[in-house]
């Protein structure tokens, strides 16, 4: 379980006072770990602790502090091709509610879809896009079908069964909000109309959605360079 998952579990299962107490204790322990690291500790190892601290800070509504640490850690993870950790940073950056949080979300989604990281994290990030998109906009449908595609492609066995059930429900909810879809026949027609059946069509459309979320001058990495590395 990632630190983010652990923190979210605590927040959901305890009273606000208890969760705040836990987070404060967790934060102090992680800060002490960071302070006590040997001088020759790598920036990558430091960044994992910075991410833990940032996730605790956002849970304590210390958003500006969260942003600073998560943003620093993101650059280190990107340089070291630690894609899942980089996406976790984007998750924290989005939740911090800062001026560039939407840009962080878009970039996190791009990485989460491009690289085979934890499917649950990828689906969570796409869920944020759905939350940020007007119900009647096609972008929510594109994000939902991408989440379902990731669940289908990246999981097996019981995990596949449970995760695709969840993403199928997510897609059905979006369809209902988007066009009042209430049955399978309508769903099939809706998906065909919106061209949601072929990943070679809907994945490029997701890139367009992300391009609308992230201003051209606010990307923190060169997507073309990363695509070239994948194809090498």
Structural domain ending residue among the three candidates 98, 114, 141: 98
pLDDT of residue 138: 96
Residue 123 token pair: 């689906």
Tell me the C-alpha to C-alpha distance, in Å, between residue 221 and each of 46, 56, 122.
Answer: 21, 26, 19
CA distances 131 to 113, 154, 174, 185, 205, Å, are 17, 23, 10, 26, 18
Examine the domain organization and report whether 130 and 213 are in the same domain: yes
Q: Are residues 204 and 108 in the same domain?
A: yes
Do 203 and 161 sit in the same domain of this protein? yes
At residue 1, the pLDDT reads: 45
Per-block mean pLDDT, blocks of 10 residues, the chain (232 long): 56 65 94 97 98 96 97 98 98 97 98 98 98 94 98 98 98 97 97 97 97 95 94 76
| 49 closest CA partner among 37, 39, 61 | 37
Length, in residues, of the chain: 232
CB 213 within 8 A of CB 103: yes
Domain assignment of residue 45, yes or no: yes
Domain count, the chain: 2
What DSSP line would sit under 90-148, residue for residue?
HHHHHHTT-TTHHHHHHHHHHHHHHS---HHHHHHHHHHHHHHS-TTSHHHHHHHHHHH
- The predicted pLDDT at position 9 comes to 60
In this prediction, residue 8 carries a pLDDT of 59
Choosing from 72, 98, 124, the residue where a domain stops is: 98
Q: Which domain covers residue 69, as residue numbers?
A: 1-98
Closest CA to 232 of 81, 122, 47: 81
């Amino acid at each position: 379980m990632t630190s983010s998952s652990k923190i979210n579990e605590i927040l959901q299962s305890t009273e606000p006072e208890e969760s705040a107490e836990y987070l404060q204790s967790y934060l102090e322990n992680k800060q002490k770990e960071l302070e006590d690291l040997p001088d020759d500790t790598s920036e990558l190892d430091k960044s994992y602790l910075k991410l833990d601290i940032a996730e605790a800070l956002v849970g304590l509504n210390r958003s500006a502090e969260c942003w600073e640490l998560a943003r620093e850690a993101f650059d280190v993870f990107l340089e070291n091709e630690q894609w899942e950790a980089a996406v976790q940073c984007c998750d924290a950056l989005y939740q911090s509610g800062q001026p560039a949080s939407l840009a962080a979300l878009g970039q996190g989604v791009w990485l989460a879809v491009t690289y085979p990281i934890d499917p649950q994290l990828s689906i969570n990030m796409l869920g944020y896009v759905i939350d940020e998109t007007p119900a009647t906009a096609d972008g929510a449908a594109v994000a939902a079908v991408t989440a379902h595609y990731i669940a289908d492609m990246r999981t097996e066995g019981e995990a596949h069964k449970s995760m695709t059930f969840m993403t199928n429900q997510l897609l059905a909810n979006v369809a209902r909000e988007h066009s009042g879809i209430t049955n399978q026949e309508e769903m099939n027609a809706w998906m065909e109309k919106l061209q949601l059946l072929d990943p070679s069509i809907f994945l490029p459309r997701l890139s367009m959605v992300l391009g609308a979320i992230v201003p051209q001058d606010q990307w923190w990495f060169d997507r073309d360079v990363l695509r070239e590395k994948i194809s090498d």
